[in-house]
Structure 1
Amino acid sequence: MSTAPVAPEVVAYVHDIARRARGAARELALLTRAEKDATLHAMADAVEAGAAEVVTANQEDLRRGREKGLPENLLDRLTLDEERVRAVAGALREVAALPDPVGEVVRGSTLANGLQIRQVRVPMGVVGMIYEARPNVTVDAAGLGLKSGNAVILRGGSAAGSTNARLVELLRGALVGRGLDPDAVNLLTEGGHDAGRALMTARGLVDLVIPRGGASLIRTVVLESTVPVIETGTGNCHVYVDAAADTEMAVQVVLNSKTHRTSVCNSAESLIVHRDAAERVLPGIMAGFAAAGVTVHGDAEMERYAEAAGAAHVPVTDEDDDTEFLSLDISARVVDSLEDAIAHVQAHTSGHTEAIVTGDRAAARRFIAEIDAAAVMVNASTRFTDGGEFGFGAEIGISTQKLHARGPMALPELTTTKWVVEGDGQVR
């Protein structure tokens, strides 16, 4: 994004939408859980009923994306077929089935003077989302926002412009059909990148901004925003195969972590194998990489195993160790000890998800204790770091920061708290 001043007309456009969203948020704060859930079902029905129109709009976006040379990983995230549309609608119904966080008592007590105090969850208010070619985020953010009592303002990437516009039309129509203010869900369609800059500097009108996308987008929002930001990070996720790893389990976890879906942030980008396990596990892993078309960016030993299995390989570089490939590429190194593995992960982690495969409980405990990441997996694929997989319903992002929210963010993370104090005339 540019550092030049945002055009006044773009600021006025965004601020007008933010003011309307704030009015809608006040209405949402009064809804009962039953009213919210009925609205979420109405939104899901609307998305499913409009699936053919959504897919048509998405085809327009995909055609433009291919003409502009968008990489395959972005085209994959952009794609919505009817099955994916049904899944997006299903996520709204899953959110409806979840407990309502608003009003939950976090803690409370009665003081010696009779004052009753309690800390309760309340909506943030107006939440801005700045994201790239991920039209599913449009629906997820709207659904999670509504359930948690927040109005949302969406600034999606231009690559998904037609898809997002149609989805938001359907969602707003469902709100109107339920007698609610459609400005509970808003899409910025004018102003280009300047609209995103105006959104993240609308302090006092917008309560929270969540960026979701590549490293450059996230860095820009974190550095330039005057509105509080929850940072969703990139996923340079590692899988470490320990000396005590079960051979079959190691092969399955590594291949699922890397090849299940390469374009997402919980896909493994780095493989580390203990030297004592290399001869047992690497032939199977490399055979799987060869079959899936993975290119191994490996040290000399990793390249030797890749060559023997017929897997594509190139020498690993220091830059590879820090790269979120989002493709059929993986950095790979053999290490001499658990200590070396932990040191390597800590030097290159993005703080998203790190995994160990081991049958040694002491090694697992040490890995868990020393690795600083939002999620640590033991004998499980990195692909499980996901709000849906964790049972949260849809997620609005995966936070790699440490304040307020960390890991998959769902309903509780979209609330703040308020202290309520009730008395009978006590004075201090």
Structure 2
Amino acid sequence: MNIDDYVIEKARRASLAARMLSNAGTEVKNRALLSMAEKVKRDKGDILRANEADLKNAKKSGKNNAFIDRLSLDEKRINSMADGLEKVASLPDPIGEGIKMWKRPNDLHIEKVRVPLGTIGIIYEARPNVTVDASALCLKSGNSVILRGGKEAINSNSAIYNIINKAAIGAGLPEGSMEFIDVTERKAVEVLMKLNRYVDVLIPRGGNGLISSVVENSTVPVIKTGSGNCHVYVDSDADLNMAEDIVVNAKTQRPAVCNAMETLLVHKDIAEKLLPHLGDTLKKLNVQIRGCSKTQELIPNIKLATEEDYAKEFLDLILAVKVVDSLDEAIDHIYKYGTKHSESIITNNYASSQRFLREVDAAAVYVNASTRFTDGGEFGFGAEIGISTQKLHARGPMGLSELTTAKYMIYGEGQIRE
């Protein structure tokens, strides 16, 4: 197989489909999504068998627990993927939405409306749910999609794609609306990153290595979905019971995802009241704690945190802890080590909460809530195509609107420019 020709043909087909999809009605797009959801539920056995093969290979090759968690599917996760399809179908169609309208002194009427981006390439690692989530959001927003998942999930992704693609075409979407690159050689990604003629934007989802590689090597525009070195800062005026509940949830509810907390910052005035009991709770939940010297005094038998620990996205049951002297020090620490993903303050002090909201530079900033809510589903987007940590053109969980651009429609009555 000539990989260059193979990938180019996939992209060409997707580009042709994008032209038709941009004019597809809401009814046909919703019908396709609901059919996809139905078939995912009906054929979940095929998906689970394929996933079992991927998990067997991943374990044999020594992949860590965080990787296995991202790769794993079960009935609950498959049902959640189907629910996401149904949710996206229920959302308003952004295409054709009027953003703004105005009239010029020369009587030109100008309207700014939402239109699809075109053809979107999704490059992702061992996250089979992305195959469904990305397809749902791209199709509903009138975009065709080229899917290229990691080799470790090739069986799962292939099974899911075959099911949803057949359902979408059967419901009336054009062939090529979803294309799946089923070769695992790196060369396929290298070709895709250079196909400006057919591909309008690339979105990488995965670890720092993948994202950096796409950003640095692609000639196609890239929307960067970054890693999450997320912090929770417990202020001196925090409710300690609330703080413990939020910290435990943010770290342990699902540690292998980008919106899990990686570093806990605690104000010195409440450290002695909070950390001993919280430390015991976290240890019982198998969390490995690495803390500053003050933290070591309050939580015995833990490792001293290093500079690398404070900068790391663990994606595991490992937590860096630091006792800080002030809100200023907490914000400075986040600026130094954060990845502009999700940050949270636990406090009953209104002035402190507002300072944190204003001064912390991140896609999502919370007051008295877990960072685990930075998610397209939790934000009401039905699903997400990724969490953008850049500032152009989208930031935070990327739903339907973030997969659109704008077109100006100008209505005249014979006006000419003098």
Do both proteins adopt the same fold according to a TM-score greater than 0.5, normalized to the shorter chain?
A: yes
The one-letter amino acid paired with 1:294 is: V
The one-letter amino acid paired with 2:359 is: E
Residue 245 of structure 2 aligns with which residue? Answer: 252
- In structure 2, which of residues 52, 55, 58 is the aligned counterpart of residue 65 of structure 1? 58
- Provide the C-alpha distance between the structure 2 equivalents of 1:130 and 1:259, rounded to a whole number of angstroms: 27
- Provide the C-alpha distance between the structure 1 equivalents of 2:281 and 2:255, rounded to a whole number of angstroms: 15
Report SS of the residue matched to 1:182. coil
| 1:284 is aligned to 2:277 | yes
Residue 202 of structure 2 aligns with which residue? Answer: 209
Residue 91 of structure 1 aligns with which residue? Answer: 84
- Provide the C-alpha distance between the structure 2 equivalents of 1:279 and 1:149, rounded to a whole number of angstroms: 55
The one-letter amino acid paired with 1:400 is: T
Identity %: 48
Alpha-carbon deviation of 1:182?
Answer: 3.0
Residue 375 of structure 1 aligns with which residue? Answer: 364
Residue 130 of structure 2 aligns with which residue? Answer: 137
Residue 298 of structure 1 aligns with which residue? Answer: 291
- Provide the C-alpha distance between the structure 1 equivalents of 2:374 and 2:380, rounded to a whole number of angstroms: 11
Residue 412 of structure 2 aligns with which residue? Answer: 423
The one-letter amino acid paired with 1:281 is: L
- Provide the C-alpha distance between the structure 1 equivalents of 2:371 and 2:136, rounded to a whole number of angstroms: 26
| 1:349 is aligned to 2:335 | no
8 Å contact 2:32–2:172 — kept in the other structure? Answer: no
The one-letter amino acid paired with 1:158 is: K
Within-5 A mapping of 1:23-422? 23-190=16-183, 192-307=185-300, 313-422=302-411
Report SS of the residue matched to 2:299. helix
Report SS of the residue matched to 1:169. helix
8 Å contact 1:173–1:182 — kept in the other structure? Answer: no
Contiguous gaps of at least 5 residues in structure 2: none
- Provide the C-alpha distance between the structure 2 equivalents of 1:191 and 1:397, rounded to a whole number of angstroms: 22
Instruction: After superposition, give the CA deviation of every residue in 1:119-165 in whole Å (9 maximum; x if it has no partner).
Output: 11100110000000000000001100110000000110001000000
The one-letter amino acid paired with 1:410 is: G
TM-score relative to the length of structure 2: 0.98
The one-letter amino acid paired with 2:308 is: E
TM-score relative to the length of structure 1: 0.96
8 Å contact 1:355–1:380 — kept in the other structure? Answer: yes
8 Å contact 1:296–1:331 — kept in the other structure? Answer: yes
- Provide the C-alpha distance between the structure 2 equivalents of 1:300 and 1:176, rounded to a whole number of angstroms: 60
Alpha-carbon deviation of 1:96?
Answer: 0.4
8 Å contact 1:236–1:269 — kept in the other structure? Answer: yes
The one-letter amino acid paired with 1:278 is: A
Alpha-carbon deviation of 1:191?
Answer: 5.4
Count residues with an aligned counterpart. Answer: 417
8 Å contact 1:100–1:147 — kept in the other structure? Answer: yes
8 Å contact 1:257–1:383 — kept in the other structure? Answer: yes
4+ long deviations beyond 4 Å: none
Contiguous gaps of at least 5 residues in structure 1: 1-7
8 Å contact 1:232–1:398 — kept in the other structure? Answer: yes
- Provide the C-alpha distance between the structure 2 equivalents of 1:281 and 1:182, rounded to a whole number of angstroms: 58
Residue 22 of structure 1 aligns with which residue? Answer: 15
Alpha-carbon deviation of 1:40?
Answer: 0.5
Report SS of the residue matched to 2:159. helix
- Provide the C-alpha distance between the structure 2 equivalents of 1:349 and 1:134, rounded to a whole number of angstroms: 24
- Provide the C-alpha distance between the structure 1 equivalents of 2:45 and 2:153, rounded to a whole number of angstroms: 16
Report SS of the residue matched to 1:179. coil
8 Å contact 2:151–2:184 — kept in the other structure? Answer: no
8 Å contact 2:29–2:173 — kept in the other structure? Answer: no
The one-letter amino acid paired with 2:234 is: V
The one-letter amino acid paired with 2:101 is: G
Instruction: After superposition, give the CA deviation of every residue in 1:273-329 in whole Å (9 maximum; x if it has no partner).
Output: 00001122112321221111111110122122222xxxx621100000100000010
Q: CA RMSD in A?
A: 1.1
